Amino acid sequence: LAVVQPHGDLAGLTVTVTTGGTREPIDPVRYLGNRSSGRQGAAVALAAADRGATVTLIAAHVDDGVLDAASRHTAITVHRVSSTAELKAATDAAAAASDVIVMVAAVADYRVAGVSDHKLRKEDGAPRLELVENPDILAGLVEARHAGQTVVGFAAETAADDGELLERGRAKRTRKGVDLLAVNRVGWEAGFESGTNRLVVLDTAGAVVADVDGSKREAAEALWDAALAVHAGRVG
């Protein structure tokens, strides 16, 4: 086995990428979850590794097939997690030593209070789930960010048109305090579980620094072009 020398424009950078969707247990056999496949985050990790970065990919409920190439890449370490609490612990640990952090994962906003230790039964009547808000992992990363660290968020938004998409994206970018926010429009059909993606990347001024309509790999490459430019500005 040949030793692969890091090369490419991300050589020397350590990055953390999260992907997939967290699940919050209701009882031993049921959960609250979302439709994120983890494909976009896997593509972001692969693109970074192929461009020379050392990558930690933290995956929440991503099919083996989606992680296949990433798992075999010598520059990528894959960690699997389930709940938002597990994702937060793994991400915080990896992020501390990372130059760039990209939060692609779809994080459950709420978890169930008082998870049942036995399977809920119909004879007990319709369950009344009490939900409590999960910690915002991204906000924590922004808070803990040190000089020279770049933090990138993702936002999947339903919007009537491009104007509303950008408006929502800019508001979220400001609220989150991230260096870049990658926004994509989702609906019942588009975005989730699909092979292609349109991604619009916003910077701290709200400017569109990338607008790519193509494969998730192409979207990932454009995202890294933008992230590298921002990162070079922070470090240099």
Exposed, middle or buried by CB within 10 Å (0-12, 13-18, 19+), for 52? middle
Binding of ligand CTP at residue 109 (CB under 6 A)?
A: yes
Among 77-85, 105-113, 193-201, 225-233, the segment contacting Ca ion (CB under 5 A): 105-113
- The active-site residue, picked from 34, 134, 184, 197, is 34
Of 8 and 34, CB closest to ligand CTP: 34
Of 35 and 121, CB closest to ligand CTP: 35
Binding of ligand CTP at residue 107 (CB under 6 A)?
A: yes
Q: Does 135 belong to an annotated binding site? A: yes
Of 10 and 154, CB closest to ligand CTP: 154
Among 16, 37, 56, 134, indicate the residue that binds ligand CTP (CB under 6 A): 134
Give which of ligand CTP, Ca ion, none residue 154 binds (C-beta under 5 to 8 Å, depending on kind).
ligand CTP
Q: Quick check: is 34 catalytic?
A: yes
Of 30 and 168, CB closest to ligand CTP: 168
Among 54-62, 149-157, 190-198, 225-233, the segment contacting ligand CTP (CB under 6 A): 149-157
Give which of Ca ion, ligand CTP, none residue 138 binds (C-beta under 5 to 8 Å, depending on kind).
ligand CTP
Among 109, 136, 218, 225, indicate the residue that binds Ca ion (CB under 5 A): 109
Three state DSSP letters for the chain: CCCCCCCCCCCCCEEEEEEEECCEEEECCEEECCCCCCHHHHHHHHHHHHCCCEEEEEEECCCHHHHHHHHHCCCEEEEEECCHHHHHHHHHHHHCCCCEEEECCECCCEEECCCCCCCCCHHHCCCCCCEEECCCHHHHHHHHCCCCCEEEEEEEECCCCHHHHHHHHHHHHHHHCCCEEEEEECCCCCCCCCCEEEEEEECCCCCEEEEEEEEHHHHHHHHHHHHHHHHHHHHC
Binding of ligand CTP at residue 155 (CB under 6 A)?
A: yes
Look up residue 11 and give its amino acid. A
Binding positions for ligand CTP, rule: CB under 6 A: 103, 105, 107, 109, 134, 136-138, 153-155
